[in-house]
């Protein structure tokens, strides 16, 4: 009798495990079809000389070798890295300053927070069109105010010296609020007693930042750097709307170069190779940033003091 009951229990457990697996089946199928298959297919096609309308021809690393020999490719890579590093530096600096400013308990601060966060809620396409109108050489409000202040109008979208700055200004305007949001979240986790102790000990602003704020802001800063570096490295919308990659290739990003190869020249294999080069850059940068910004060891709360 006992053996019969044991057999029934084991059978019941097997049926429960099968049912649990069946619950996961739709998600697994979705991931395979929408994520895994496109990734595997794009890797495979990057090893082919594949132009729309012609039979694909296997060439191994030929597409990658062609890219690495191209001066245009390295120029576009430099432009992408320059936009990424500049946007990252400005957004982190402004994000920290605005985060500390908006964390102050001042009447009406909630209104300022809403106004600061509004640009982040817009689609990149809308933000690009908005700044394209603002930076227009003839009708733009930016040049209007510059001329009223006695300066000459600037060809923001066509001058080789300023075109890239139009893209940087747009990205900083839209995504600095994201950094501010993470900084505010980090500041909200700081125990009030630590700040009160720093005030009683008359700790300097630098001591407060290094010994009280920074340990709690390390993770928000890491997340902000990771998300913004990933988004900026694969930036497409803003350059496409503002400048179209011009003048020449001076504002062309890697994603925009891949788009041109795919939809203008129908070079599917080359476009896939460019996309995977972006993936490699993103992974390398993310791992480097994790090594630099991640804490070497967990800091116990009781060890965080004012430094005095």
**303 pLDDT above the threshold of 50:** no
CA distance 179 to 221: 8
Domain shared by 34 and 153, yes or no: no
| Residues 6+ away with beta carbon under 8 Å from 102 | 109, 112, 113, 116, 180, 184
**307 pLDDT above the threshold of 50:** no
Assess if residue 230 is contained within a domain.
Answer: yes
| Residues 6+ away with beta carbon under 8 Å from 80 | 233, 235, 253, 254
**101 pLDDT above the threshold of 50:** yes
Average pLDDT, rounded, for the chain: 86
Domain shared by 187 and 41, yes or no: no
Assess if residue 303 is contained within a domain.
Answer: no
| Residues 6+ away with beta carbon under 8 Å from 301 | 191
pLDDT at 112: 84
**298 pLDDT above the threshold of 90:** no
User: Structural domain of residue 45, as residue ranges?
Assistant: 1-49
pTM: 0.84
Stretch 177-206: mean pLDDT: 84
Domain shared by 25 and 146, yes or no: no
CA distance 48 to 64: 10
Query: Between 254-263 and 268-293, two packed helices, what is the crossing angle to 10 degrees?
Result: 160
Domain count, the chain: 2
What sign has the CA pseudo-torsion 209, 212, 215, 221? negative
CATH of the domain at 158: 1.10.3720.10
CB atoms within 10 A of CB 246: 15
Stretch 206-226: mean pLDDT: 86
| Residues 6+ away with beta carbon under 8 Å from 307 | 203, 207, 210, 211
pLDDT at 97: 93
Domain shared by 12 and 105, yes or no: no
Both tokens assigned to 240: 């496409």
Among 94-103, 218-227, 286-295, the least confident range: 286-295
pLDDT at 197: 80
Domain shared by 34 and 85, yes or no: no
Assess if residue 301 is contained within a domain.
Answer: no
Question: Which secondary structure element, helix H or strand E, spans residue 304, and what is its range?
Answer: none
Using pLDDT thresholds of 50, 70 and 90, give the confidence band for residue 1.
low
Domain shared by 251 and 127, yes or no: yes
Stretch 199-217: mean pLDDT: 80
**242 pLDDT above the threshold of 70:** yes
Question: Which secondary structure element, helix H or strand E, spans residue 48, and what is its range?
Answer: strand 48-49
CA distance 99 to 181: 7
pLDDT at 308: 37
């Amino acid at each position: 009798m006992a053996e019969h009951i044991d057999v029934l229990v084991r059978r019941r457990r097997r049926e429960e495990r099968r049912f649990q697996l069946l619950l996961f089946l739709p998600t697994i199928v979705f991931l395979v079809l929408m994520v895994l298959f496109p990734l595997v297919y794009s890797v495979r096609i990057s090893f082919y000389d594949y132009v729309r309308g012609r039979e694909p021809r296997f060439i191994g690393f030929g597409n990658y070798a062609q890219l690495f020999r191209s001066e245009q490719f390295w120029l576009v890579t430099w432009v992408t890295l320059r936009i990424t590093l500049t946007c990252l530096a400005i957004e982190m600096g402004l994000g920290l300053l605005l985060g500390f400013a908006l964390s102050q308990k001042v009447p009406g601060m909630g209104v300022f927070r809403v106004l600061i966060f509004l640009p982040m809620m817009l689609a990149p396409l809308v933000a690009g069109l908005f700044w394209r109108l603002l930076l227009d050489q003839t009708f733009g409000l930016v040049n209007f105010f510059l001329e009223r202040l006695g300066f000459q109008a600037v060809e923001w979208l066509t001058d080789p010296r300023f075109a890239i700055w139009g893209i940087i200004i747009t990205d900083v305007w839209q995504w600095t609020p994201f950094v501010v949001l993470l900084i505010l979240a980090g500041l909200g986790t700081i125990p009030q007693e630590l700040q009160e102790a720093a005030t009683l000990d008359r700790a300097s602003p630098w001591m407060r930042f290094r010994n009280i704020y920074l340990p709690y802001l390390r993770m928000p800063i890491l997340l902000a750097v990771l998300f913004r570096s990933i988004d900026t490295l694969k930036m497409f919308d803003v350059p496409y709307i503002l400048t179209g990659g011009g003048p020449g290739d001076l504002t062309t990003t890697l994603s925009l170069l891949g788009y041109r190869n795919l939809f203008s020249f129908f070079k599917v294999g080359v476009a896939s190779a460019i996309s995977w080069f972006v993936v490699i850059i993103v992974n390398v940068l993310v791992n480097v940033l994790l090594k630099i910004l991640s804490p070497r060891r967990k800091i116990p709360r009781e060890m965080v003091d004012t430094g005095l």
